[in-house]
């Protein structure tokens, strides 16, 4: 999976869960590739892989990307009220979670393949 695809998944996760997402991946160096004999494998055969980022509850990227081959630290100021604002805007467990709208139950009665319509 590409770094862009992984980053997109983290952004979408932030929006769906309405949380800050601290996304971090490890880097692999040329020395590690040679040490583990990965030169001819389909994955991990080129240096890089770094993709440290921080996403806001609305999926917005809050940090500047580091080069994929360099270790570093990404920092962002996190306003925790942002989470509450997003949850108020998109209430995943609110109005759709009301029992009169969405109900999960079990009907143990026999279900016939052919049913007669009542007039």
Instruction: Give 94's DSSP letter.
Output: S
Stated pTM of the model = 0.64
Backbone Cα Rg of the chain: 24
Decide if 102 contacts 95 (C-beta within 8 A): no
pLDDT of residue 115: 77
Q: How far apart are CA 119 and CA 117, in angstroms?
A: 6
pLDDT of residue 63: 94
Per-residue pLDDT of the chain (119 residues; tens, 9 = 90+): 677 888 888 898 888 888 899 988 888 899 999 999 999 988 888 888 888 899 999 899 999 988 888 888 999 999 988 888 877 766 656 555 556 555 667 878 887 888 788 77
Q: How far apart are CA 111 and CA 115, in angstroms?
A: 9
Q: How far apart are CA 89 and CA 15, in angstroms?
A: 11
């Amino acid at each position: 999976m590409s770094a862009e695809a992984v980053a997109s998944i983290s952004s979408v996760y932030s929006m769906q869960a309405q949380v800050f997402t601290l996304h971090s991946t490890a880097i692999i160096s040329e020395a590690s590739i040679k040490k583990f004999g990965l030169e001819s494998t389909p994955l991990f055969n080129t240096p890089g892989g770094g993709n440290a980022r921080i996403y806001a509850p609305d999926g917005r990227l809050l940090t500047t990307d580091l080069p994929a081959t360099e270790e570093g630290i990404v920092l962002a100021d996190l306003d925790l009220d942002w989470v509450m604002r997003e949850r108020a805007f998109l209430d995943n467990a609110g109005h759709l979670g009301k029992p009169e709208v969405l109900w999960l139950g079990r009907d143990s009665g026999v279900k016939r393949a052919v049913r007669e319509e009542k007039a």
